[in-house]
Amino acid sequence: MSDAVAQRLTVRVDASQTVSALLLEAPRAHACLVLAHGAGAGMEHASLSAMAMDLARLGVTTLRFQFPYMERGSKRPDAPPLCHATVRAAVATAARLAPKLPLIAGGRSFGGRMTSQAQALQPLPGVKGLAFLAFPLHPAGKPADERAGHLSGVAVPMLFLQGTRDELASLTLLEPVIQRLGRHATLHLLSEADHSFHVPARSGRKDSEVRDEAARTLSEWARTL
């Protein structure tokens, strides 16, 4: 399966702006994931494209989309309210395009956090769960858990896919967060992976193997929703 089969779409955020999106339909799909990009790279970044293809092979359709700042070519992320509105617009588009599939929302790092904030403020219509590909709990070198405060307002299941070497999510802080969230949260640790799901050569693993583990975990979790 090649990323070339992804369908290019336009998502209307509000009356004045639209963003680009990519729909990659999985054969015999059992779920649809609205997949937001990270802060520094857009929806066509190689790692996000590869994840979408891995998920498609495992029966998960994906809708990737741009945040407005990335669409403009800016490096400065939009204010949260605009990000939240963009997530909502993308979810609505996915619901229209894949009406028979259970909806999941989430994304890489920043994109996952914007999605969870949107969900906490007002539930995303039809969304059955949230999936985070490296939740950014804190800035690198500044361990704290304030960014997780809003997660207590999320009432759908959440899957956290986190590398054990993630400098933006100290496990000594993340694991207690997961425990406090209780039955709503599932943590899956990717051994030796960093925030980008990269593993060092000494680990004996390849980045593609970590990505495959993450995709399989997400696909299996989606079947439980």
Phi, psi of 37 (to 5 degrees): -85, 170
Cβ–Cβ contacts within 10 Å for residue 191, how many? 12
- Kindly state the helix (H) or strand (E) to which residue 93 belongs, with its residue range: helix 80-97
Rounded CA-CA distance 164/151 in Å is: 21
Closest CA to 90 of 108, 73, 109, 103: 103
The verdict on domain 3-222 having CATH code 3.40.50.1820 is yes
CA atoms within 13 A on the CB side of 125: 11
For residue 71, is pLDDT > 60? yes
- Across 90-111, average pLDDT: 97
What integer best gives the mean pLDDT of the chain? 95
> What does the pLDDT read at residue 3?
45
pLDDT in tens, 10-68: 999 999 999 999 999 999 999 999 999 999 999 999 999 999 999 999 999 999 999 99
Percentage of residues in the chain with pLDDT exceeding 70? 98
pLDDT in tens, 164-222: 999 999 999 999 999 999 999 999 999 999 999 999 989 989 999 999 999 999 999 99
> What does the pLDDT read at residue 5?
77
pLDDT in tens, 109-138: 999 999 999 999 999 999 999 999 999 999
End-to-end CA distance of the chain: 26
Q: What pTM was estimated for this model as a whole?
A: 0.95
Rounded CA-CA distance 88/83 in Å is: 9
